[in-house]
Amino acid sequence: MITTSTTNDSSCKEDLVDVLLKLQKSSVLKFEITTEHIKAVTSEIYLAGGETAATTLEWAMSELLRNPKVMEKAQAEVRKERKIEYTDTQKLDYVKLVVKETLRLHPPGTLIPRECRERCEINGYDIPTKTKVIVNVWAIGRDPDYWVNADCFQPERFHGSSVDFKGNDFEFLPFGAGRRMCPGITFAIAIIELALAQLLYHFDWKLPNEVKPEELDMTENFGATCRRKNDLYLNVTPRFPFLMETSSQ
């Protein structure tokens, strides 16, 4: 059962469910919002955000292991803090750059389907109304016309840049754009940044079996999301072994 908060505390902020329930009761929209619609929207946010986070984290760790200097720089930033909580991620500028660069090279959804609402022409191609158009986000993110050293993992490229993944910069669309962009974007980014910061703060990472960074297999498996074809196996060393021993007791 879905209900709104009954508290009168003015400090409480409305969440998405509150807004949807109010719209449901007000009948201001031209269509009906049912409880099933609300459940579907909230479920999609968690499912989309969770899958996006898992895929992006795996690629982020892959790229960091493949680029040791980037790994060292990210860990140095994270380890300036005494501990890492969600509020601390706002201060981790370089980690945010790492996440952006990971999303550029490895967008969770490689293809974005859209339907043309009215006839238009793009680069001499006529696109009739109702035509299905597929946007290749993966290719755009690696297009040398828009990105210098497009195939290289260089988080610094986003330093001082206004280019962001919120759907306003069409050369960078890991979450899509417009009203139908990924609803789980905020949830996913929050998970990714915090989880990545925790992994870099608490552990040191190495490739197993003396595999060199440049030898790491980065083959992709294209599907609903673009995941690694082969699982990522790493050797991990806790930064604070005594804490691990205490927590296991």
Looking up tokens 């072994």 gives: 241
Q: How many CA atoms lie within 13 A of 106 on its CB side?
A: 26
Which two structure tokens, joined as six digits, stand for 220? 């992709």
Q: Are strands 132-136 and 111-115 parallel, antiparallel or unpaired?
A: antiparallel
Beta bridge partners of 203: 238
Residues 205, 57 contacting (CB under 8 angstroms) = no
d(CA 239, CA 203): 5
According to the annotation, is 182 in a ligand binding site?
A: yes
Residues 160, 102 contacting (CB under 8 angstroms) = no
d(CA 69, CA 165): 25
Other beta carbons less than 10 A from residue 46's beta carbon:
13
Residues 178, 113 contacting (CB under 8 angstroms) = no
Nearest to residue 102, comparing CAs of 66, 144, 153?
153
Q: Angle 117-225-63 (CA atoms, 0-180°, nearest 5)?
A: 125
Residues 60, 102 contacting (CB under 8 angstroms) = yes
Other beta carbons less than 10 A from residue 241's beta carbon:
9
Annotated binding site for heme: 182
Annotated binding site: 182
